[in-house]
């Protein structure tokens, strides 16, 4: 017969929120409340089918992404399961909004990354299902930042080309230069941050902070409340993740 201690240990993995802190629960709860409010507002007034579609997809993209990023901050390997669902939905939302860099990021890069990341984290996961953290040297940090700046400018220029826009959407997008730069910055910074996340470097959170701000700006341009909520949540979570990954490591 199993001891009471063994039973308690087993049940900890069944109850999803068993080891969540008050801050983490409040962060997710606030996200959920705001998301439901904007979901209802988006569905009332008999909107067209496209509006209903975009509202529902954005809602579920927001919730699954919030779960994923909080679990990353907790150094939990289960983040990749929620992340897989989130990146598919985030890619759909970005494609309908014609944010080229963002849907390329999610569909072409982030989907396979969920499996790659799981593999690398699984190899370095302890009994608490938490990954072991590493840190970058200062000179590698400078190389990373320089690369981000150069690639962002290059991809922003490519994204603004009418021929590229016609290829993806069959039309020219009516956008300003800051939309293209912001979209490109989200792509480049997120790719670099994801690589650092897979390799378990705590400095990933500095890049996530910048990426989250870029996402809030981008989706403010597109006027999508659900995406603004999810990246505002991500911004707060990135501060928490940076602290949590630096603590006792």
What would the pLDDT profile of 82-128 be if each residue is shown by its tens digit?
Answer: 999 999 999 999 999 999 999 999 999 999 999 998 888 887 766 55
Report yes or no: 48 and 219 within 8 Å, Cβ to Cβ.
Answer: no
Lowest-pLDDT range of 25-34, 174-183, 232-241? 174-183
Q: What is the pLDDT of residues 2-52, one digit of tens each?
A: 444 544 444 444 446 778 889 999 999 999 999 999 999 888 866 677 788
Structure tokens at 93: 């939302």
Question: What CA–CA distance (Å, rounded) separates 223 from 221?
Answer: 6
Residue 130 has what pLDDT? 63
Question: With bands split at pLDDT 50, 70 and 90, how would you rate the model's confidence at 211?
Answer: very high
SS (H, E, C) 196-242: HHHCCECCHHHHHHHHHHHHHHHHHHCCCHHHHHHHHHHHHHHHHHH
pTM recorded for the entire structure = 0.83
Residue with token string 């979901």: 39
Question: What per-residue confidence (pLDDT) applies to 241?
Answer: 86
Residues 6+ apart with CB under 8 A from 106: 87, 88, 90, 91, 94
8-state DSSP, 77: T
The pLDDT of residue 1: 44
- What pLDDT is recorded for position 15? 47
Burial 150-162 (b: 16+ CB within 10 A, else e): ebbeebbeebbee
């Amino acid at each position: 017969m199993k001891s009471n201690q063994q039973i308690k240990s087993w049940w900890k993995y069944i109850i999803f929120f068993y080891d969540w802190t008050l801050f983490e629960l409040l962060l997710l709860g606030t996200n959920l409340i705001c998301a439901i409010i904007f979901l209802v507002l988006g569905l009332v007034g008999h909107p067209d089918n496209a509006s209903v579609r975009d509202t529902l997809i954005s809602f579920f993209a927001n919730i699954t992404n919030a779960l994923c990023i909080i679990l990353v901050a907790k150094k939990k390997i289960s983040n990749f399961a929620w992340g897989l669902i989130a990146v598919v939905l985030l890619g759909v939302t970005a494609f309908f909004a014609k944010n080229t860099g963002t849907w390329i990021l999610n569909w072409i890069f982030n989907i396979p990354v969920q499996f790659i990341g799981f593999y690398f984290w699984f190899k370095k996961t302890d009994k608490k299902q938490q990954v072991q953290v590493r840190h970058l040297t200062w000179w590698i940090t400078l190389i990373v930042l320089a690369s981000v700046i150069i690639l962002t400018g290059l991809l922003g220029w490519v994204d603004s080309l009418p021929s590229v826009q016609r290829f993806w959407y069959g039309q020219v997008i009516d956008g300003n230069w800051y939309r293209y730069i912001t979209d490109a910055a989200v792509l480049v910074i997120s790719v670099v941050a994801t690589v650092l996340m897979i390799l378990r470097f705590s400095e990933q959170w500095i890049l996530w902070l910048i990426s989250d701000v870029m996402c809030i700006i981008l989706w403010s341009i597109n006027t999508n409340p659900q995406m603004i909520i999810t990246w505002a949540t991500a911004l707060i979570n990135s501060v928490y993740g940076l602290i949590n990954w630096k603590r006792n490591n």
